[in-house]
Amino acid sequence: MRPLAPLFAAGFVTAFGAHSIAASLGGYTESEHASLLTLGVLLAIYDGAEIVLKPVFGALADRIGPRPVLFGGLLAFAAASAGFVLAGDPALVGLARLGQGAAAAAFSPAAGALVARLSPQRRRGRAFGGYGAWKGLGYTLGPLLGGVLITLGGYSLLFATLAVLALVVATWAALAVPSVPPLPRARQTVLGLVRRLAQAGFLRPTVVLAGTTAALAVGVGFLPVVGATAGLGPLATGASVSLLAASAALVQPFAGRARDNGRLPEIAGMAGGLALTAAGLVLATVLPGLAAILVAAVAIGIGTGVATPLGFAQLSASAPPERLGQTMGAAEVGRELGDAGGPLLVGAIAAGAGLGTGLAVLAAVLALGALTARYPARPDRPPSHA
């Protein structure tokens, strides 16, 4: 586990960096007298850079090896963060987030590929469970610590902290992560790539990962709205979000370990996780009160926490070893689309038919995903424990 620790830290950096800034952008746009459109652009620009560039950097990791891509991405993240501090212009926050998103698009799939390359098949569930748990910790602590840092020293202190954090992790990775040379690769045509990404070994876990990310984004964004509608205060609604994120982070290592020990089959676990997540979304709409929202948050957190490491483990098991970076990069695009698409779907339906209907529709989509995950198919390579 020693060489994996800085990879877990890299996952924390991208999650903490994204959410620590995003959670405070509403206050930034208000202080700068910017429009809601500007806020939307600032929120989307980080994820947009990742969606476009993750497949590119994933393929580069296969070509030159994932370690230099990881190292370069962390240094670029530090440079983008430090550049904002040195410029001293709050109006450049969008440009800084674009640079951070592009850098995260490099080191995120490289870290995922390294987790797979450095972990034996029998321990990949545990490895990805730890990776997901540290990313979950970044999502949980980002808004809280980001707000504290901005209160103490403004955006300059937050970006300086992110620069130092990325530099520390880059140094740690340089010292602890061994060199993993690129594997020999046969020539691949565009048609061959499309066919490979259309196989069950890629599509099944990618759909599951997109669904879990969509549910997390919706839970974080809309559970407070459900609570406020029921007359709950910000303390209670904030507790529900923290409970959701903490449940998702804590359960992932246990789910991964159960997969490695053969006690939790990948396909059944992914389907069950999506089904539990869907039940949590429905519960939030049909039962009023704080207790129901807290139970819903735990159900969503546990469901996504079970399905996520199993999805990554099956994805890495079915991918050609010489194209792990490309596969992880393409799957990460699916996660980013779920992160953006889930709230958009719920918000669009809620605008016309109410929030309960929006959450119910997403729950139905997740339930359909659970049924699809259980559907027998012929993957490109038989996944383990499936």
CATH of the domain at 22: 1.20.1250.20
Last residue of some domain: 119, 144, 176?
176
The total of structural domains in the chain comes to 2
Helices (H), the chain: 5-22, 25-31, 36-64, 66-87, 93-117, 124-176, 190-197, 200-229, 234-260, 266-286, 290-318, 324-353, 355-374
Q: Which residue has the tokens 């409970």?
A: 243
Residue range 200-248, pLDDT digits in tens? 677 888 889 899 988 888 887 788 778 777 777 766 777 777 788 888 8
Q: Percent of the chain, pLDDT > 70?
A: 85
Categorize the per-residue pLDDT at 2 as very low, low, confident or very high, splitting at 50, 70 and 90.
confident
What pLDDT is stored for residue 139 in this prediction? 78
Nearest CA to 115 among 14, 6, 4, 11?
A: 4
In a domain, 62, yes or no: yes
Residue 31 reports pLDDT greater than 70: no
Which domain range does residue 210 map to? 191-374
Residue 185 reports pLDDT greater than 70: no
Do 163 and 207 reside in the same domain of the chain? no
What pLDDT is stored for residue 23 in this prediction? 62
Last residue of some domain: 176, 199, 229?
176
Which residues contact residue 126 at a Cβ distance below 8 angstroms, ignoring those fewer than 6 apart? 119, 253, 256, 257, 259, 260
Do 7 and 101 reside in the same domain of the chain? yes
d(CA 142, CA 165) in angstroms, rounded, equals: 13
Do 216 and 150 reside in the same domain of the chain? no
Residue range 150-163, pLDDT digits in tens? 889 888 999 999 99
In a domain, 186, yes or no: no
Categorize the per-residue pLDDT at 194 as very low, low, confident or very high, splitting at 50, 70 and 90.
low
Do 205 and 354 reside in the same domain of the chain? yes
- Tell me the three state secondary structure of residue 184: coil
Do 204 and 343 reside in the same domain of the chain? yes
d(CA 163, CA 168) in angstroms, rounded, equals: 9
Nearest CA to 305 among 264, 337, 351, 352?
A: 264
Do 54 and 163 reside in the same domain of the chain? yes
d(CA 293, CA 286) in angstroms, rounded, equals: 10
Which residues contact residue 366 at a Cβ distance below 8 angstroms, ignoring those fewer than 6 apart? 211, 214, 215, 274, 275, 277, 278, 281
Residue 184 reports pLDDT greater than 70: no
Which residues contact residue 278 at a Cβ distance below 8 angstroms, ignoring those fewer than 6 apart? 303, 362, 363, 364, 366, 367, 370
In a domain, 73, yes or no: yes
d(CA 18, CA 10) in angstroms, rounded, equals: 12
Which residues contact residue 30 at a Cβ distance below 8 angstroms, ignoring those fewer than 6 apart? none
What pLDDT is stored for residue 73 in this prediction? 95
Which residues contact residue 43 at a Cβ distance below 8 angstroms, ignoring those fewer than 6 apart? 22, 25
Residue 349 reports pLDDT greater than 60: yes
Do 48 and 156 reside in the same domain of the chain? yes
Do 204 and 85 reside in the same domain of the chain? no
